[in-house]
Every structure is written in C-alpha cells, then in structure tokens.
Structure 1
Amino acid sequence: MLFLLRKVRRKLLQKNKVTTYLLYAIGEIVLVVIGIIIAVQINSWNDARLNQKKERVILKDLHQEFQINKTKLDAAIRHHQTLAEATGKIMSLIGEPKATLAQHNLDSLIYLSLDYTDFNASQSVIMELISSGRLNLISSDELRSLIFEWVSEMDEKKEGYETMDEISQSQTLPYLTQNATMKDIDFYGLGRTNGRSKFASKNHPLFQDLVFENHMDNQFWGITNYIAKLNRLETIIDRILKQTNTQAIK
C-alpha cells in the first residue's frame, strides 16, 4: 500500500498537482499512524496475555503456600487452646484442698501452661513478590490488600509471642524455679528421660499461694492474647485461599 502511494506521489509531483499530492501525503501519514497504533495494540495484547500467565502462576503458588500455612496454623491454634485450657484448669484448682488436688496431674498441667511455641509461616512467595515488585501482576485489589494485611498481622503475631515469652521467661519460670519441683514438671516434656525428682514434690503447696495464681493469670492472658492473633491470621488465610482459588479459575 505504501509503495503504491509513493508511486502515485511521484506522478502527481511530476504533473504539479500539489493539492492532490498533499491529500495523498496525508493519507500516507494516516496509514503509518494506524500501523503504529495496531502494532502497539498487538504488543499490549501480548504483554497482557503474558502477564495473565504470570498471574496464574503467582496465584497457584500463593494458594499452595497458604494451604500449608493453614494446616500449620490450625495445629498451632489447637495446641495453644490446650495450653489455655490447662492454665485455666490450674487457676480453678488454686485454693482447693489437697484431696481435690490429688485427683489431678498437677505437674502435667503446669508443664502445659509453659509449652507454648511460635507459629512460623511460610512466606517465601509473598516476600519474593514484594521484593521483586511483581505484586502489581495481581489484578485483584482485594487480594493485594489481603497480602499487606497478612504481613502486618504477622508483625502483630510476633509481638504477641514475644509478650507471652517475656511473661513466662521473666516471671513464671523464675518463680517456679524457686518454688516448684521443676524436674517433675519437665518430666512431661523433653526432661522425661531424666526421670522424676528424688526430692519431695513442692508443687502441691503452689496451689495455696496467691503469687502462683497471679503468675498463672498472667500466663493465661499471654496465651489467650496470642491465640487471638492467630485467629486473625486464620481469617486472612481463609480469605486469601478463597481469592487465589477464585482468581486462578478465571
């Protein structure tokens, strides 16, 4: 087409038909512009198609990562609920007579109140998306918002764990070390291979001590506060899984 226009242009110039020549020149320019627009649109379409493929891979990776996180988180929540129940049981037994206390495994209950652990989520996909700048490949505004919310709540979870750990390490454990038979308590954890203490147990008298009750109350608060943060993470995980599953199908 452009070749034909050029040929016509030469003939028009030779015949001094300037006006007609200008019209053909404008037509030639319009054709060039249209060609450029079409090329740009094709490139844009190809880029969009490639980005959609990349997005589907990202959504699949996110879905798999958060399925793993949900399994781990559900286990962490159940574990810490057991700890909260054991700590609550301890407080319900404080002040009870020795005959009542003898009906319960107090050493095991005390051990459970201390058996907290941190939930460590897999975040390799999210961290790579953020650090590489590929987060903008996710077309869903809600999903991008959930990812940032997850990162923020993970920081809150870390703070909750550190608070719980601080209560235990600086208050509860020093008190128990001074006033309890730790070997009998540790028998229900990693210390089982060491057997029980050869000394008379000092753990029954703890249940007549207001200071012990205060420590257990602090311990209970730390555990339940941590559970609340885990529950918020679970809500975000469920929403991310729904979003990644829905978006991946499209």
Structure 2
Amino acid sequence: MADDNKPWKYVRYAIGEIVLVVIGILIALQVNNWNEKRKFDKEGIEIKQELYDEFSDNRVVLAERIKSLESANEHIEALFYYMDSPIEIVQTVNMDSIIGFSLKYGNFNPSNSTIQELIGSGRLNLISNKSLKKNLYQWLQLLKDADEDFKNQDQQASTLLIPYLYKRVSMRNINHYGGIRTDQKSTLFTGDYDVIFNDLEFENLYEGKLFWNRTLLNHYKNLDTLASEIMKQSNGL
C-alpha cells in the first residue's frame, strides 16, 4: 500500500511545485506592474510640472502682446477721433507719438517644447485626462490660426500702411516715440497732418489695421483662456 501511494505523493509534490512557481510568477508580475505604475506616475508628475511651467511662461508673453495690441488700438481710435476734429484741436496733441504707438504690434512665439516632445515621443498617453489632450491639440491649432492672422496684419502694415506713411510724414519723428530713435526729430516735416487726415486712403489703411489688430487680439485672448484652462487641468494628470 505504501508503494501504491508513492505516485500520488509525486503528483501532490508536482502540483505543489507548480503552484509555487505560479505564485512566484504572479508575485513577480505584480512587482513589475507596481514598478511600472510608479514609473508611469513619476513621469506624469514631471509632465504636469513641465506643462504648468511652460504655459505659465507663455501667459506672461501673451499678456504683453495683448497689452500692446490694446494700446495700439486705443491710439488708432484716437486717430479716428482727431480725423473728425477741427484742425485747432489736432494741433494741440502730439500726433507723432499717437501714430508711433498705433503702429506697434508683435507676433506670439510661445514655447511648445513639452507638447511637441509628448506628441513626437508618443508619451501623450501618459496624460489620462482626455479633455486636456484635446486642449493641447486645440492650442496648436489656435496658434496656427493666430500666426496666419499675424502674417495678414504684417503684410497690410509693411506693404500698404508703412509705404503710405513714408511718403507723407516723418518716420524719424514717429520712431522717436516708438523707442527706435532717441535723437532729435526731423526738421524736414512741418507736422502738418491735416492733409492725410482728409485722405480717404489713410482712413481705409487704418481701418484695415484696426480690423487685423482686433482679429489677432481676439485670438490672443482665446489662447490665454485656453492656456489658463490647461494649467488647471495639468494638476489632474
């Protein structure tokens, strides 16, 4: 009977060995999964900080661009006001400075290194928040749209408005207030703006500039709103 029980002992022993091996494998897998999750979570925290810092810096630059455009628009509106005013009133203001500040604008070139790296490396899957992923892609699209508007704005200014002013006013005087020149103003221009203020082309050129300024300003404000939302969402990675 003892000999008859030996096969069952071997079977039980073999089963025990198999169970131990399976348990060992499961434990190893669990440890591996735990390590992978810890690595995943660590990368997620790093990405969160990178996104937050990047968009925080971008909003600082955006605030400057928005402020500059709003200031330019205020000076353009001032030009329209003085165009409809008697010459006596026009002569009481520094028109060189008003035109100088009305010409200011700037492109927005944000830092997108974190987003581009996430997309290029395939690490975007580390972001579990689907809404955040969507907003990151939307950010890139809005930037593309804003860049197109800037090109239109720049073309309107460089090919139409600036050449017009070159022929009729002193750019030396205007640049004096734009921070480009700090020396004395021109002695060749009498400061007579009455001629261009009665020119329909001048009015149309500035109406076009105001249109593109407002269009670009609207895009910048939308970008700022989206950047703020992305910063909030990055805390929930």
Asked whether the two chains share a fold, i.e. TM above 0.5, the reply is yes
* The one of 107, 110, 121 aligned to 1:118: 107
* The one of 74, 87, 94 aligned to 2:63: 74
The residue that corresponds to 1:63 in the other structure is 52
CA distance in 2, matches of 1:228, 1:76: 11
1:164 aligns with 2:161: no
1:205 aligns with 2:195: yes
Written as runs of structure 1 = structure 2, the 5 A alignment for 1:99-110 is: 99-110=88-99
The residue that corresponds to 1:232 in the other structure is 222
Displacement, 1:165?
A: 0.5
Displacement, 1:135?
A: 2.0
Aligned 8 A contact 2:65 2:105 in 1: no
TM-score by length of 1: 0.84
Q: Greater CA deviation, 18-27 or 155-164?
A: 18-27
Residues paired across the two proteins, number: 235
Structure 1 or 2, whichever has the larger Rg, is 1
The superposition leaves residues 153-193 of structure 1 with CA deviations (integer Å, 9 ceiling, x where unpaired) of 11112112111101101111111112222222122124433
The residue that corresponds to 1:133 in the other structure is 122
The superposition leaves residues 115-159 of structure 1 with CA deviations (integer Å, 9 ceiling, x where unpaired) of 111122122222222222222222222222221111111111211
Q: Greater CA deviation, 130-139 or 82-91?
A: 130-139
* RMSD of aligned alpha carbons: 2.2
* The one of 220, 242, 250 aligned to 2:232: 242
Written as runs of structure 1 = structure 2, the 5 A alignment for 1:23-38 is: 25-26=14-15, 28-38=17-27
Gaps of 5+ in 2: none
CA distance in 2, matches of 1:114, 1:177: 13
Displacement, 1:106?
A: 1.6
Displacement, 1:16?
A: 7.7
The residue that corresponds to 1:6 in the other structure is none
Amino acid at match of 1:130: I
Written as runs of structure 1 = structure 2, the 5 A alignment for 1:134-149 is: 134-149=123-138
Amino acid at match of 1:108: S
Instruction: Report % sequence identity.
Output: 34
The superposition leaves residues 30-61 of structure 1 with CA deviations (integer Å, 9 ceiling, x where unpaired) of 44334323321221111011110111111112
Gaps of 5+ in 1: 1-11
4+ residue stretches of structure 1 with deviation over 6 A?
none
